[in-house]
Amino acid sequence: MTTTKPSLELLRSLTDEHVLRELMRARRLTRADLAARSGLSKPTVGESVRRLTEAGLVVDTGERTPGGRGRGRVGSYYALADTAGTALAVSIAPDGVVVERVDAHGDVLGRTRHDISRPARAEQVAAALRTAAAQARESVGGPIRLAVVSAADPVERASGRLVRLPDAPFLLGELDPVDVLAPQVDGPVIVDNDVNWAAQAERNTDPTGLGDFAYVFLGEGLGCAVVSDGEVRRGHSGLAGEIAHLVTIGPHGQATRFIDVFADLDLRRAGTTAIDVERVRQLTVATRAALGRAVSGVLAAIVALADPRLVIVGGPWGSQPAVLDAITTAFSQLPRHVEVRPALLTEEPSLTGARAEALDRLRSAIVALPQRTASPAVRATATDS
C-alpha cells in the first residue's frame, strides 16, 4: 500500500492559512507567538510570515517585544495588512439602506445610512444603495472583496434580484443589488431575504446549538425561515417562507389569507398592505386574541410541513409579550404544536446575520489569496518538489 505525501505547495498553503487565521483572531503576534498557537515550528512559521509579507498580506507593525540584556531576542509583531481587504454588510429595509464596512477581525470600520421614502421605488432604493456603497469604498480598509446583502423582499435564488410578489408591502418594482454593487466590489455579491439572515443570526446566538427550527418574522411584512440540519432551506427559486398567502383562521372563524387578516382587523398602514406596527401594539384583548388565532393557524401549517423542533417569533410586534402570549395560547390548543419562544436578537437581527456571513466569507477569501498571488517561481518550485 502506498501513501501520497502532500506537496510542498499544499504544506505552504496550510501553513499560510494557520498564520492568517491566527492573525485574524489575535490582531498582532510575533513569530514565536504564531508558532506556539499553531503548533508549527518557528522556522516554518518564519517562512510563512516572509511569504505573506512579500505578498502584501502581512506587515511588520514596528512594535517590538522587550529584549536584550539577558531577556532574550527582541521579537517583531506582525498583523494583517490593509491590503488583505474588507467586506460590505448591507441591509435594504423599509426604513432605509445601511452599508457597513467590515474587516477580517470583525470590526465595523464605517457605517453609512440613507433613508427611503414610502412607498419605496426600485430606482430610489438603487440610488441610495449605490451612494452608500460608494461612500463606504472611500473609507480606509483596502479592497472590498465581497458584499453580503439582506433585503426585506423576496429574493430570486439564482440571480439575487428582488422580486415583487402580490401584496408585498415594501418595494415597488424589481431591484438588482448585484448589478448595483458590482462596480464597488472586487468579488461576489451575495443576496438573501432578511428573514433568512435573521434566522441565521438567531442560530449563531442560541447557546443550545439550534439546528431545526422555524423563524417567523412579524413586522410591517410577514416572513418565515425554516432551518433544518443547521441550514436555511430556501426552496427551488428562493421563495420558501413567503407566508403572507397561507390560509389561516380569520377574525370570525372563517378561512382567509393571512395577509387579509390585517385588513379585516384594520391593522394596515393607509394605502398599503404594510402592517401598522404601532396599531398592533395597542390592540384590545379581544382583537389580540383574534390575531393570535390567525398566527397560530400559520404556525400549525409550518409545523405540519417542516416539522421544526421549535418556533422562534421575531419582528417588531411578533415578540411583544402580550402578542406572543396570545399566539402561544391559541397555538397550544391546536392538535399539533411545538415550543414557541421569542427571538433572542431584537436589534438589527438581519444585518447581524449578513455581517456574520460577510466576515466568514471575507476570512475565507483572504486565506485563498496567497495561492493566487504566489509568484510563478514559487509555484514552479512547489510543483517540482
Provide φ and ψ at 291, rounded to 5°: -65, -40
Task: Quickly state the pLDDT bin for 39 (edges 50, 70, 90).
Answer: confident
Q: CA 183, 185, 190, 191: dihedral to nearest 10 degrees?
A: -50
pLDDT digits (tens, 9 = 90+) for 69-103: 545 577 899 999 999 999 999 999 988 999 999 99
**Residues 340 and 299 sit within 8 Å (Cβ to Cβ):** yes
Higher-pLDDT residue of 68, 358: 358
pLDDT > 90? residue 370: no
pLDDT > 70? residue 242: yes
Look at residue 4 in the predicted model and tell me its pLDDT: 53
367: DSSP letter: H
Q: Is 313 helix (H, G, I), strand (E, B) or coil?
A: strand
d(CA 153, CA 275): 15
**Residues 190 and 238 sit within 8 Å (Cβ to Cβ):** no
Look at residue 378 in the predicted model and tell me its pLDDT: 34
Q: What residues contact residue 346 under an 8 Å CB cut-off, 6+ apart?
A: 314, 319
Torsion sign, CA atoms 345, 153, 218, 335: negative
First to last CA, the chain: 22
Look at residue 273 in the predicted model and tell me its pLDDT: 86
Determine how many CB atoms are found less than 10 A away from the CB of residue 1. 2
Average pLDDT over residues 204-230: 92
Look at residue 94 in the predicted model and tell me its pLDDT: 86
**CA 127 to mean position of chain CA atoms:** 22
Q: Which of 134-143, 264-273, 346-355 has the lowest mean pLDDT?
A: 134-143
Look at residue 116 in the predicted model and tell me its pLDDT: 87
- Residue 235 C-alpha cell reads as 426552496
- 58-64 and 76-80 beta bridge pairing: antiparallel
DSSP 214-267: EEEEESSSEEEEEEETTEE---SSS-TT--TT-EEE-TTS-EEEHHHHHHHTT-
Nearest to 125 by CA among 88, 91, 168, 165: 91
Task: Quickly state the pLDDT bin for 13 (edges 50, 70, 90).
Answer: confident
Task: Quickly state the pLDDT bin for 221 (edges 50, 70, 90).
Answer: very high
Look at residue 286 in the predicted model and tell me its pLDDT: 95
Look at residue 186 in the predicted model and tell me its pLDDT: 93
DSSP 282-307: T--HHHHHHHHHHHHHHHHHHHHHH-
**Residues 81 and 58 sit within 8 Å (Cβ to Cβ):** yes
